[in-house]
Amino acid sequence: SVVVVGAVNSDLIVHVPRIAAPGSTVIATGSATGPGGKGGNQAAAVARLGGSCALIARVGPDFDPASLSCVDLSRVVADPAPTGLAVVLVDAAGENAITVVPGANANLSPADIGPLTGAGVVLASLEVPLPAVAEAAARAAAAGWTFVLNPAPAVQLPDLLLRQTDVLVPNEHELAVLGSPQSLLAAGAGAVVVTLGAAGCRIHRPSGTVTIPGVRVATVDTTGAGDAFCGALAWALDSGRPLDEAARLACAAGALATTAVGARTAHPTAAELTALVR
């Protein structure tokens, strides 16, 4: 099974002609709300693929469990602080400026992680405190689970965490903060899968580098592409597929996720994925 550790947010997307300069006011042309957060988005992607998925997260009293139907929420902790909030300003050119209020996510602690039994994949991201992620990595290592880390937003990673990471999945911006794939492998990461937007991804392993080409689709909104990629990668690894095949499926999932507006609206099913990847 897949256990996702990460943030749950509500997203407020505000469309503006231009992003307001400090001290000035801009009238929006529209707005929308929707569920978000890397943990929530990634768990939703796994569940959409039909995978058995549990989420470890903290949410506030305002959380709507219907936003994560088909995800096992029994390990989600109710926190007195409100659910995380992401305010996303999008200007006429499609550029964005994002402010995140961590809320309940800031209180996720090592004690919230709990035991891992059986076999599976832990998928973690960094919109929650690093000690909780480090605990998840340590428990995965001890239980023989595969640990996949999406280092977003990027911070310098402790060597112990890198050594306990089987697959590190940064995008190009995050990689610039983390260091070269070679240095990350030298520090002990098992593999580094760099996502390259429309160009697909590149798998770096001690044995060499493989590029998986992108899948051409009619892209309308790239929000959540990385989360769809990570969710599909974890799902495919959990089903026993080798990393190259999992990355091929993940590229297709990331591409399909860009074909509709919103972070979770276009997550593919397993049938849709396998139809695209032969």
Compute the distance between CA of residue 96 and CA of residue 238 in angstroms, rounded to an integer: 34
196 annotated ligand-binding residue: yes
Beta-bridge partner residues of 96: 90
Is the Cβ of residue 107 or residue 219 nearer to ligand ADP in the bound state?
219
Compute the distance between CA of residue 55 and CA of residue 8 in angstroms, rounded to an integer: 10
Q: Rule CB under 6 A: which of 216-275 touch ligand ADP?
A: 217, 219, 222, 225-226, 229, 251, 254-255, 258
257 annotated ligand-binding residue: yes
Contacting residue, 20, 81, 196, 276, with ligand ADP by CB under 6 A: 196
Contacting residue, 20, 87, 210, 215, with ligand ADP by CB under 6 A: 215
What values do phi and psi take at 108, rounded to 5?
-65, 125
* From 124-132, 136-144, 183-191, 194-202, span contacting ligand ADP (CB under 6 A): 194-202
227 is catalytic: yes
CB atoms within 10 A of CB 238: 25
Contacting residue, 10, 42, 67, 171, with ligand ADP by CB under 6 A: 171
Residue the block writes with tokens 């890198």: 162
Q: Is 144 exposed, middle or buried (0-12, 13-18, 19+ CB in 10 A)?
A: exposed
CA neighbours within 13 Å on the CB side: how many for 198? 7
User: Nearest approach, Cβ of 17 to ligand ADP (angstroms)?
Assistant: 24
8 Å CB contact between 249 and 19: no
Contact call for residue 177 and ligand ADP (CB under 6 A)? no
8 Å CB contact between 105 and 128: yes
Contact call for residue 7 and ligand ADP (CB under 6 A)? no
What three-state secondary structure class fits 215? coil
Residues 6+ away with beta carbon under 8 Å from 112: 56, 58, 75, 77, 132
Is the Cβ of residue 42 or residue 165 nearer to ligand ADP in the bound state?
42
Contact call for residue 123 and ligand ADP (CB under 6 A)? no
Contact call for residue 129 and ligand ADP (CB under 6 A)? no
Contact call for residue 6 and ligand ADP (CB under 6 A)? no
> Could you say which DSSP state residue 71 is in?
S
8 Å CB contact between 39 and 104: no
Catalytic pick among 91, 227, 238, 244: 227
Contact call for residue 73 and ligand ADP (CB under 6 A)? no
5's tokens: 């550790």
What three-state secondary structure class fits 216? coil
223 annotated ligand-binding residue: yes
Is the Cβ of residue 84 or residue 200 nearer to ligand ADP in the bound state?
200
Q: Which residues are annotated as a binding site?
A: 9-11, 37-41, 127, 171, 195-200, 221, 223, 226-227, 257, 260, 262
Interface ranges with ligand ADP (CB under 6 A): 171, 195-198, 200-201, 214-215, 217, 219, 222, 225-226, 229, 251, 254-255, 258
Q: Which residues are annotated as a binding site for K(+)?
A: 221, 223, 257, 260, 262
Residues annotated as catalytic are: 227
Q: Which residues are annotated as a binding site for substrate?
A: 9-11, 37-41, 127, 227
